[in-house]
Structure 1
Amino acid sequence: MPSTDDTELAQASDTGAPSDLSLLLHDALLVSLAALFALLFGGVVYQFYETDAALFWNPNLLAATGYIWLPSIGATLFICGMRRALIGARSFNKRVMLAVLTLVYGLGFSGVLYFLGRALGLQDFWLFAGVGALLLVYPILRFASERPGLCSVLMLTLPGMLLGAAGVSWLEQRYLLVESLGDQFMDPNAQLLTVLALLVVASGAALVPHFADLAMREILRTHTRLAAATSGILLLGALALSWLNRAILVPRLYLETHLVLGFFEWLLVLGALGWLSVLSPSYTRPTGKNLRPKLAILGFLILGSHGLLFFAPSSPGQPIPRRSDYLAELFAQPYLLVFDKDEDGYLPAYLGGADCDNARASVNPLAREVLADGVDDNCRNGDAPAEEVAPAAVLPGGNARLVIVISVDMLRPDFMQVYGAEHATTPYLHAHRDEWTRFERAYTSGGITTLALPSLLRGRIPLAIDFEPAYRTLDFRYVFSDKDNDINRVFASPRADKHPTIGDIFRQAGLPTRAIVDDGPAGIFQKGFGFETGFDTFHYPNLPEGPGPEAWNLDALTDTAVSLIEDGKAEGFWWLHIYDPHAADPPCRDFDTTPGLGCYRDAILDADQAIGRIAEALRAAGQWDDTALFITSDHGEALGEHGLSHHGLDSYEEFVRIPLLAKYPAGTPTGEVVTRPVSLIDVSTTALGVAGLQPPASFQGEDLRRLTEGAKRRFPVISQLLITNTMGAPYRQQTLLIDGSARLMLDRVTHKTWLFDIADDPGQKSPLIVNGVGAPDAQSKADALRQELLDALNAMEAVGPESRATKFP
């Protein structure tokens, strides 16, 4: 006996009568087609900018279409439910409808005007925004009140605005955008909120055709020119938003923002298809005549996309489907809720994921390998064997009385006169360049301060450190629980890591240790974050030794160091951190503004003068000859070279290459220029060696003096970056292998691989391998380097005797 559904389908097909099933199927097709178009177009744009204008096709983008179906089902059911609800709402008293419209539109336009005012630097603008919104809304609703059909059409905008507002509300909960609005002109949060408020209003207008019942469809059908124009405008808006989301808005950094903008892209495309369908005569007379073909198309799309997802290629370097685009990440979220059984944030392999064990959260692509435990903890190359790593060898006879490491925040060597820059930004260092060994190819071990400096102090690559999440509040406090109501960023804190620091080794030898640091407004050096580990005295504003936040600046930092030298307290190990280049605000003094960096050259000059004051104080005290001094940085900074700004977003040279100048105690050759690649963690090992101290086995760097003489490394030069969402879940983890002139970038979350040779391509504009695609000889080279990198990571990140159960990432 045929089922009820079969009977309804047969009757609808035979009679051509309208049915709930035909409307449901029509909605499902439009929703899924909109999701497919938005994902594929966005993925192509994403791919274009990810590969720096080198468009390599990513077959797993097609596989990612398998993720659209759960969200599409949810959207279809929402449309059907709201359509029924709005039929009931039309029976409301006209005054009630106008009151609801006044409230919703008043709030919507008030938000647009208020955030626009804040973007223009206007404060206390709520009243003016409210009045302005009423001036806009009143004539519209007054006009609509005299035309019942128009009033009903306006009611159809409410569900779309509700959807948009839900997305913005979720984003606000994650980033606290309203609470963190700034007072400056063109505040980024105010600009973003203005765009989001406009998109909420636009979403209401976009989805009107989808919520219309048959009576309302007759009204819309009489305005075909308006429908055609609206459809075109919405499609252009969706395409522009797709480009904005992937090319303009700080790519990669704020994941949830990209996801919400991707959500609006989907809504706008869905709206464009809905208004386009108004042009069809069947829009007002939906029948069941084409049910079977529509069902066949829908079934083909569902089965085909899931087949692509199930058989998605997992070749090295090929990005996994979920990471093919922001929309792929968005659409995959319901699948994570349903199928990520161990809740480690990774989908199983049969859904295009990278989790090799969906039952254990401790096994995932970013897990640290436990050697010889019979488990492939990090889902690569099987279980790693237990191999004892010997401590780094150092040159004997280290006799430095004082070892100073000065890290200058965000310092690019190509802006330093001593590295050949045309501007006189480092006159002191340049004048005394014969006293320093200059390393031309030094690389940070971590792409952001909270990765690089813990790595420097512990002599280990970042993901070999036991970090835990530190959540930053709006008032720049750091808490270690995500239960705080005003957190909007997460960083990596080394406070619970048990690996010995440089300071720990000096203290074990009975030598004093001291840190004199400045981090501007960031606050990461405050007590409890973990940077104070290993120091007898930590000079910082929130500790008793600090003079207070208002007075603590580069001059105060330098005065403190010079006073200690003059008082005869210069011994042991010192770490100084200079923040100024990171926040070099105009007006500039000696140099023109550097686009994107403000008075960057002035700040470098200030740092050079501070270093000069400290050096001259050491000379005056007779300690210059028995002092070892290292000048370096935590990371570089992008200035648009690859369409990117900021730092910690990628591993191109502008992000990871840093200066490194080493001044050894008297008797060690100086004035050399070393072109061999070296790492920031080599400074850690050398700082111990020059003082006659043996680095522990946990230190992974080498003695720079031995490297200068041609000694071999135990581990290759590696740089790592980590990008997470606001709750600490990793979205990218890119590791860079530096091997001669070769640069291999491997992202263990997305699985993408890039290969460059900076000897032939110093600007890194022509990748030899991208997304696993390249010439056979380049592919062979990439495979060998990839295996070298994975073997090194297995050993370097392996759980050791000082390791604990890490919470992050």
Structure 2
Amino acid sequence: MASDTSTSDTAASAPSSDGDVSNVLLVTIDSLRTDAIGPYDDDRHSPVLSELAADGTVFDRSFATGNWTPFSFPSILASEPVFARNGDIGVKDARTLASVLSDAGIATGGFNAANGFLTSHWGYPDGFDEFEPFVTSVGSSRYSRYLAAHPTVEAWIQLATSPFRRFGSKLRGDSDDRPFLDASRMFDVEDAATDFVDDTDDPFFLWVHYMDTHTPYVPAPRYIREVSDGLVGTHRMLHAHTRTSFGLEVGERTLRELRTLYQATVRQVDDSVGRLLETLEAAGIADETAIVVAGDHGEEFQEHGHLAHYPKLYDELIRVPLIVNVPGEDGGRRVSEHVGLDAIPPTVADLLGVDAPAEWRGESLAPTVTDGESPDQDPVVSVTVRGDEVTEQPIPRSLSDGDLLVSVRDDEWTYIENADDGTTELYHRPSDPTQQEDLSADPSDEALAVVERFAPIAAEHVAELRDRQADAAAAEDAGEGGDGEVDEDLEARLEALGYK
């Protein structure tokens, strides 16, 4: 929980002049697994993130609060659980990180690479001086809307025209580092972030969110070659996406291709982050800018029978990278204690000398990074909502869209409970890192003690969410609140991400 010495009813304090940090760059990467980058897996090639980690602090057991972007981001940008304010997946009316920093006189910029759930409809621009979600590019024509909702079709079209495009690129002397299918808006985010840095003289908070590692994985050809044996090309990319798009069986070959494409998108983002760091260097502010890198959730490659990030709470979806690089601090530190992503807002505020509001749930990790203090060790709670059909449901936007699943984690144990049917699961991660052996049916004395410790935490969280759900329903019955309908353009972009 937030410190008792922080305040919520008054404006945050002005930035401290004692520290070396004037600015913070928060990089969030959609669907990023821990084992996809070098700091967590020596076999991965991510030189920029690896260098940031080598000069910073790596949190080995960092956990998201949900398996989807809208379930995770209330913690990342508002330090609160999803549904905990008003039964909604957004951050409307919350004391967001951007609003707290803006009140303290810090310039704020946020640039989201077309994730429709991180938009004004759900309150995410609040507090940002500059905000661009890059979602409005779907277009009004029936053709452009169809392509937005069917990226594999657009990929086929680009494949057919690629010889002409590449021939033209060679004539112009261009490289092939642009994404094959530029749905990720990576360069738009880069350009906007660069302009923000160049145009801002005050201390700033800059947030960028990448979508390259989200399905469909469509990296630039050069990155496919870089992470493979050179034989995986665009035709194999289309082969893999075609099989998954049409629901065909995913065998070892297709799974291997998908993993390769995913790793190529990671390298693509890694290079982009490197260009942002070069922007900071060129502006002469790299030595006063702290960098925070996090995944918002992970990605499944059939560890539990599916692809992407369907409603489950296992480590492939909930364990995520978290790297904090603070200028002037010794690097190479690794933190083994568990932390939740709701620690990001108070950490960023702390680094900038701003008080955290009392209602924020997370504790600052700045003392861990700068002084080696152990982080708060309350278990991390994560949730998802699962409908009758795991792979066919639309993404839940309320607790009434399915069963509520809650997980509770510490350094070693994962407890999962279906709050609607009462079923439970228990996993000991050191001996079962992929969570395949459920110990809840016949628990040892040690396992039973874990259940007795975690079950009340899950129950308390469920009760809080149910209370907010009831409040929201009462307000709706009284004709108050409610988000209203999502506009057609935003729905088309959400459908392009697979969220029908």
Corresponding residue to 1:536 among 112, 129, 134: 129
Q: For the residues of structure 2 that align with 1:798 and 1:649, how far apart are their CA atoms?
A: 22
Residue 175 of structure 2 is matched in structure 1 by none
Q: Is the 8 A contact 1:562 1:613 kept in 2?
A: no
Corresponding residue to 1:418 among 39, 56, 60: 39
Q: For the residues of structure 2 that align with 1:403 and 1:803, how far apart are their CA atoms?
A: 35
Corresponding residue to 2:338 among 657, 665, 677: 677
Count the aligned residue pairs: 389
Corresponding residue to 1:722 among 354, 360, 385: 385
Q: For the residues of structure 1 that align with 2:297 and 2:86, how far apart are their CA atoms?
A: 21
| Residue 703 to residue 525, structure 1, CA distance change in 2 (3 Å) | closer
Measured after TM superposition, the shift of residue 563 of structure 1 is 3.2
Listed as ranges, the matches of 1:143-158 within 5 Å are: none
Residue 449 of structure 1 is matched in structure 2 by 69
Measured after TM superposition, the shift of residue 716 of structure 1 is 2.6
Corresponding residue to 1:782 among 451, 454, 475: 451
Residue 557 of structure 1 is matched in structure 2 by 189
Residue 292 of structure 2 is matched in structure 1 by 630
Q: Secondary structure at the match of 1:499?
A: coil
Q: Which amino acid aligns with 1:413?
A: T
Q: Is the 8 A contact 1:392 1:700 kept in 2?
A: no
Residue 754 of structure 1 is matched in structure 2 by 425
Measured after TM superposition, the shift of residue 742 of structure 1 is 1.0
Listed as ranges, the matches of 1:195-206 within 5 Å are: none
Q: For the residues of structure 1 that align with 2:426 and 2:20, how far apart are their CA atoms?
A: 42
Q: For the residues of structure 2 that align with 1:675 and 1:806, how far apart are their CA atoms?
A: 43
| Residue 542 to residue 595, structure 1, CA distance change in 2 (3 Å) | closer
Corresponding residue to 1:768 among 439, 445, 465: 439
Residue 390 of structure 1 is matched in structure 2 by 4
Q: Is the 8 A contact 1:626 1:665 kept in 2?
A: yes
Q: Secondary structure at the match of 1:440?
A: strand
| Residue 796 to residue 664, structure 1, CA distance change in 2 (3 Å) | farther
Listed as ranges, the matches of 1:341-740 within 5 Å are: 390=4, 400-424=21-45, 426-468=46-88, 492=89, 494=90, 497-519=92-114, 523-541=116-134, 553-569=185-201, 571-582=203-214, 583-585=216-218, 588-592=224-228, 594-597=256-259, 599-666=261-328, 668-707=329-368, 709-711=372-374, 713=376, 715-724=378-387, 729-740=400-411
Q: Is the 8 A contact 1:518 1:578 kept in 2?
A: yes
Q: Is the 8 A contact 2:27 2:207 kept in 1?
A: yes
Q: For the residues of structure 1 that align with 2:427 and 2:98, how far apart are their CA atoms?
A: 37
Q: Which amino acid aligns with 1:661?
A: I
| Residue 720 to residue 438, structure 1, CA distance change in 2 (3 Å) | same
Q: Which amino acid aligns with 2:197?
A: I
**Sequence identity (%):** 23
Q: Is the 8 A contact 2:76 2:342 kept in 1?
A: yes
Q: For the residues of structure 2 that align with 1:508 and 1:606, how far apart are their CA atoms?
A: 35
Q: Secondary structure at the match of 1:464?
A: coil
Q: Which amino acid aligns with 2:94?
A: H
Higher helix residue share: 1
Measured after TM superposition, the shift of residue 392 of structure 1 is 6.7
Measured after TM superposition, the shift of residue 710 of structure 1 is 3.9
| Residue 745 to residue 551, structure 1, CA distance change in 2 (3 Å) | closer
Q: For the residues of structure 2 that align with 1:757 and 1:551, how far apart are their CA atoms?
A: 39
Q: Which amino acid aligns with 1:446?
A: G
Measured after TM superposition, the shift of residue 711 of structure 1 is 4.3
Q: For the residues of structure 1 that align with 2:385 and 2:5, how far apart are their CA atoms?
A: 27
Q: Is the 8 A contact 1:746 1:754 kept in 2?
A: yes
Q: Is the 8 A contact 1:516 1:577 kept in 2?
A: yes
Measured after TM superposition, the shift of residue 746 of structure 1 is 1.7
| TM-score scaled by length of structure 2 | 0.69
Q: Secondary structure at the match of 2:227?
A: coil
Q: Secondary structure at the match of 2:213?
A: helix
Q: For the residues of structure 1 that align with 2:466 and 2:203, how far apart are their CA atoms?
A: 33
Q: For the residues of structure 2 that align with 1:749 and 1:671, how far apart are their CA atoms?
A: 44
Q: Is the 8 A contact 2:61 2:411 kept in 1?
A: no
Q: For the residues of structure 1 that align with 2:225 and 2:257, how far apart are their CA atoms?
A: 15
| Residue 392 to residue 509, structure 1, CA distance change in 2 (3 Å) | closer
Q: Secondary structure at the match of 1:744?
A: strand
Measured after TM superposition, the shift of residue 431 of structure 1 is 3.6
* Superposed CA offset, 1:781-809 (max 9, x none): 31222124434665798769x99967699
* Superposed CA offset, 1:148-196 (max 9, x none): xxxxxxxxxxxxxxxxxxxxxxxxxxxxxxxxxxxxxxxxxxxxxxxxx
Q: Which amino acid aligns with 1:749?
A: D
Measured after TM superposition, the shift of residue 699 of structure 1 is 0.7
Q: Is the 8 A contact 1:446 1:455 kept in 2?
A: no
Measured after TM superposition, the shift of residue 608 of structure 1 is 0.7
| Residue 789 to residue 551, structure 1, CA distance change in 2 (3 Å) | closer
Residue 10 of structure 2 is matched in structure 1 by none
* Superposed CA offset, 1:702-744 (max 9, x none): 1113346344638432222123566852322222111220111
- Determine which structure has more spread, i.e. the larger CA radius of gyration: 1
* Superposed CA offset, 1:721-780 (max 9, x none): 12356685232222211122011112212222111111222222212114xx53454223
Measured after TM superposition, the shift of residue 388 of structure 1 is 11
Residue 161 of structure 2 is matched in structure 1 by none
Q: For the residues of structure 1 that align with 2:474 and 2:286, how far apart are their CA atoms?
A: 44
Q: Which amino acid aligns with 1:658?
A: V
Q: Secondary structure at the match of 2:35?
A: helix
Q: Which amino acid aligns with 2:109?
A: R
| Residue 806 to residue 449, structure 1, CA distance change in 2 (3 Å) | farther
Q: Is the 8 A contact 2:419 2:462 kept in 1?
A: no
Q: Is the 8 A contact 1:585 1:598 kept in 2?
A: no
Measured after TM superposition, the shift of residue 532 of structure 1 is 1.6
Q: For the residues of structure 2 that align with 1:518 and 1:541, how far apart are their CA atoms?
A: 6
Q: Which amino acid aligns with 1:605?
A: R
Q: Is the 8 A contact 1:512 1:573 kept in 2?
A: yes
Name the Cα RMSD after superposition. Answer: 3.6
Measured after TM superposition, the shift of residue 648 of structure 1 is 3.9
| Residue 805 to residue 440, structure 1, CA distance change in 2 (3 Å) | farther
Q: Which amino acid aligns with 1:556?
A: D
* Superposed CA offset, 1:454-487 (max 9, x none): 321110121323244xxxxxxxxxxxxxxxxxxx
Give unmatched runs, 5+ long, in structure 2: 8-12, 138-143, 149-181, 233-255, 388-392, 477-481, 484-500
Q: For the residues of structure 2 that align with 1:388 and 1:605, how far apart are their CA atoms?
A: 36
Residue 18 of structure 1 is matched in structure 2 by none
